[in-house]
């Protein structure tokens, strides 16, 4: 493993797909799509949030904890072998069983030699109708044990063979603080594996605005920090008895450090691949040098929940 | 002055215009445009950055400090009288002379009874070719004297007759930290008076992307914080001997708390007016409740300049 920040261009890929209740089939499909991305030149490939299962958080139901598995475990074993075979870095988001009663919304980061580099554990946990994540997931720790020098406040980067990458998960994408800290750690790309969709009853009124807000918030992270952003989302309608289910809206994308789309998907299964140039990060950060002028002496109040009188 | 956070809808206006070397003419034009905004129902009206002068920072030149004036001073006296006459709140950005050698890029906030509520002093100061702001401006203080309970880290809100507003200035718009802290103080609207433009030589390659990045970054502040954002920019080409000058690109806009455009300008003089509904702030923050889930226990590293190894 070559552990240096690279200045050589590298190629990333993200996988937008659906999931069924058949875990083995989900993994098999991901395997095919990862191979497709690799065949298109992708060197770092990221799957969607909780990739190998339906989005099970639609209702709180204790037997669904059975979907969790350890890291390392059967799914990461499969993906480590795949990474080694193809010589690619993989970001593998899945439901992690860390211990009895300690379940996480996590992403394993696997280097191109098949070694497990580490795990990011989702820091911001939502809880909304049909998204009962606070029931299922322990939030990532602000002070994870043994996180090492490439971590701060629970946020992390990994120096992979091809680039230094940060991983954040879904709801994290609404928090500029997460993007900022991960970028300051040296990330060249922020990956945002996601499972966002429409409540069918809301789609007519809010659907377009929700997709646009989702993309705008993340493109802004690219701009504010001068990094690439890559967000693979889930697609497909997933039913849930007693509810209207969720229609995951796709629209995965990759944005450059100036926030420009370099690859975009619609609402169908898709493999997006894009070349990333560390030279463009350097150019953008020189021409609009935001990092130079941060007022770190004045940001202390951001550590408050609310400041209003 | 009624100093309560209102839940009643209110109407804001922003003025996009050019400036000439004739200060009196600049103020007279602003006077006309403020009256026009008020006649269209605007209750809180914000002018562009350094409104009453050309963007003088194109070169560092000591006699240009003569353009600065105290607050209160002749320009704010004029604007206080105008605010009182029309019964509107005014945000008046200008070059402030606080003391000999202490000059600021500031915005006076004037309530609808004509009283001067206070001054915001630009916290993030750029310095780029043709934008020599570090030469002209002392940055806003992280711990301003006598800022009161509606300030934190140099960021401030004002409880005006019609709404609680925050003011940030131009380069501040690239810093999510500034938008966050000002929103946490209770702002319902973030005003971003601006003077951003193209270097004529860059326009062909970067022009469109710069406008889009500028708008995207600010719409993201609206989304992340559930607030209205209103950004009045300068227009017109301003020459500067020995340079190609700057073409200020306009494209002022008002976005709602979901980041949707509710008013937009092109590259000509424009008065934008939009109704703002505190009920929509409440709705947006309930449906995508980002403020609930912030990891204030984990954001400490944001106070570092850089975290990379």
Q: Between B107 and B146, name the one with better pLDDT.
A: B107
Q: Any CB–CB contact under 8 A between B271 and chain A?
A: no
User: Residue B2's pLDDT is what?
Assistant: 47
User: Residue A163's pLDDT is what?
Assistant: 97
Query: Is the predicted pLDDT of residue B1 greater than 60, yes or no?
Result: no
Distance CA A44, CA A111 (A): 9
Which pLDDT band holds residue A147 (cuts at 50, 70, 90)? confident
Q: Give how far B133 is from chain A: nearest CA, Å.
A: 12
User: Residue A282's pLDDT is what?
Assistant: 96
The partner residue sitting opposite A209, judged by closest CB among B155, B260, B299, is B260
Q: Any CB–CB contact under 8 A between B301 and chain A?
A: yes
Partners of residue A222 in chain B, C-beta under 8 Å: none
Query: Would you give the DSSP letter of residue A131?
Result: B
pLDDT in tens, B27-68: 999 999 999 999 999 999 999 999 999 999 999 999 999 999
Instruction: Say whether A173 sits in a helix, a strand or coil.
Output: helix
Given an 8 Å threshold on Cβ–Cβ distance, is A177 in contact with B176? yes
Q: Of B57, B189, B49, B190, which is closest to residue B121 (Cα–Cα)?
A: B49
Per-residue three-class SS string for B236-301? EEECCCCCCCEEEECCCEEECCCCCEEEECCCCCEEEEEEECHHHHHHHHHHCCHHHHCCCCCCHH
User: Residue A5's pLDDT is what?
Assistant: 52
Percent of all residues in chain B with a pLDDT value above 90, rounded to a whole number: 93
Q: How many CB atoms lie within 10 A of CB B105?
A: 31
Q: Give how far A90 is from chain B: nearest CA, Å.
A: 22
Query: Is the predicted pLDDT of residue A7 greater than 90, yes or no?
Result: no
Bridge-partner residues for B270, per DSSP?
A: B16
User: Residue A71's pLDDT is what?
Assistant: 98
Given an 8 Å threshold on Cβ–Cβ distance, is A142 in contact with B297? yes
Does the annotation count B80 as an active-site position? Answer: no
User: Residue A309's pLDDT is what?
Assistant: 77
Query: Is the predicted pLDDT of residue B134 greater than 60, yes or no?
Result: yes
pLDDT in tens, A51-64: 999 999 999 999 99
State yes or no: cis peptide before B81, omega within 30 of 0.
no
User: Residue A277's pLDDT is what?
Assistant: 98
Given an 8 Å threshold on Cβ–Cβ distance, is B216 in contact with A307? no
Does the annotation count B122 as an active-site position? Answer: yes
Q: Any CB–CB contact under 8 A between B224 and chain A?
A: yes
Query: Is the predicted pLDDT of residue B10 greater than 70, yes or no?
Result: yes
Partners of residue B205 in chain A, C-beta under 8 Å: none
Q: Of B19, B13, B1, B11, which is closest to residue B195 (Cα–Cα)?
A: B19
Residues B120-138, mean pLDDT to the nearest whole number: 97
Domain B10-296 falls under CATH 3.30.910.20? no
Residues A156-163, mean pLDDT to the nearest whole number: 97
Query: Is the predicted pLDDT of residue A149 greater than 90, yes or no?
Result: no
Residues B167-172, mean pLDDT to the nearest whole number: 98
Q: Of A120, A26, A262, which is closest to residue B298 (Cα–Cα)?
A: A120
Query: Is the predicted pLDDT of residue A41 greater than 50, yes or no?
Result: yes
User: Residue A285's pLDDT is what?
Assistant: 97
User: Residue A1's pLDDT is what?
Assistant: 43
Residues A260-282, mean pLDDT to the nearest whole number: 98
Supply the ipTM of this predicted assembly.
0.97
CA A226-A230-A235 angle, 5° bins? 155
Report DSSP letters for B163-218, one per residue.
-EEEE--GGGGG-HHHHHHHHHTT-SEEE-----EE-HHHHHHHHHHHHHHHHHHH
Q: Of A123, A76, A132, which is closest to residue A104 (Cα–Cα)?
A: A123
Q: Any CB–CB contact under 8 A between B180 and chain A?
A: yes
Mean pLDDT, chain B, rounded, equals 96
pLDDT in tens, B232-276: 999 999 999 999 999 999 999 999 999 999 999 999 999 999 999
Q: Which of residues 118-147 of B touch A (CB under 8 A)?
A: 123-128, 139-140, 142
Partners of residue A178 in chain B, C-beta under 8 Å: 295
Does the annotation count B48 as an active-site position? Answer: no
The partner residue sitting opposite A299, judged by closest CB among B171, B177, B295, is B177
The partner residue sitting opposite B309, judged by closest CB among A186, A212, A289, is A186
Partners of residue A229 in chain B, C-beta under 8 Å: none
Instruction: Give the residue on A whose Cα is nearest the Cα of B260.
Output: A209
Residues A138-144, mean pLDDT to the nearest whole number: 95
Partners of residue A212 in chain B, C-beta under 8 Å: 259-260
Which pLDDT band holds residue B6 (cuts at 50, 70, 90)? low
Query: Is the predicted pLDDT of residue B3 greater than 70, yes or no?
Result: no
The two structure tokens encoding residue A88: 């690619």
Residues A100-120, mean pLDDT to the nearest whole number: 98
Q: Any CB–CB contact under 8 A between A303 and chain B?
A: yes
CA A263-A269-A275 angle, 5° bins? 25
Distance CA A232, CA A90 (A): 13
The two structure tokens encoding residue A50: 């909780």
Instruction: Say whether A247 sits in a helix, a strand or coil.
Output: strand
Residues A140-144, mean pLDDT to the nearest whole number: 94
Given an 8 Å threshold on Cβ–Cβ distance, is A309 in contact with B175? no
User: Residue B72's pLDDT is what?
Assistant: 98
| Mutation for B interface: A298, A303, A304, A306, most B CBs within 10 A | A298
Which pLDDT band holds residue A3 (cuts at 50, 70, 90)? very low
The partner residue sitting opposite A216, judged by closest CB among B155, B184, B259, is B259
Which pLDDT band holds residue B5 (cuts at 50, 70, 90)? low
Residues A251-277, mean pLDDT to the nearest whole number: 98
């Amino acid at each position: 493993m070559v552990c240096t920040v690279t200045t050589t261009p590298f190629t990333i890929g993200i996988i937008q797909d659906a999931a069924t209740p058949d875990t083995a089939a989900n993994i098999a499909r991901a395997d095919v799509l990862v191979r497709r991305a690799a065949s298109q030149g992708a060197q770092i490939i990221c799957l969607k949030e909780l990739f190998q299962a339906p989005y099970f958080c639609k209702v709180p139901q204790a037997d669904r904890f059975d979907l969790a598995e350890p890291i390392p475990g059967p799914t990461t074993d499969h993906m480590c072998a795949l990474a080694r075979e193809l010589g690619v870095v993989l970001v593998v988001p899945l439901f992690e069983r860390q211990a009895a009663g300690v379940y996480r919304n996590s992403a394993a980061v696997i280097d191109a030699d098949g070694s497990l580099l580490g795990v990011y554990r989702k820091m911001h946990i939502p809880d909304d109708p049909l998204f009962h994540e606070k029931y299922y997931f322990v939030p990532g720790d602000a002070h994870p044990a043994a996180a090492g020098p490439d971590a701060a406040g629970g946020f992390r980067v990994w120096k992979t063979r091809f680039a230094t990458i940060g991983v954040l998960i879904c709801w994290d994408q609404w928090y500029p603080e997460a993007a900022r800290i991960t970028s300051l750690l040296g990330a060249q790309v922020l990956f945002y594996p996601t499972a966002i969709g429409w409540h069918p009853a809301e789609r007519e009124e809010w659907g377009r605005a929700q997709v646009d807000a989702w993309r705008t918030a993340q493109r802004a992270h690219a701009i504010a920090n001068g990094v690439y952003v890559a967000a693979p989302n889930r697609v497909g309608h997933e039913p849930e008895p007693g509810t209207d289910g969720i229609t995951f809206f796709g629209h995965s994308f990759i944005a450059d450090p100036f926030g420009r789309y370099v690859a975009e998907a619609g609402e169908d299964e898709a493999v997006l691949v894009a070349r990333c140039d560390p030279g463009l990060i350097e150019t953008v950060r020189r021409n609009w040098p935001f990092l130079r002028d941060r007022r770190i002496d004045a940001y202390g109040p951001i550590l408050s929940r609310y400041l209003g009188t």
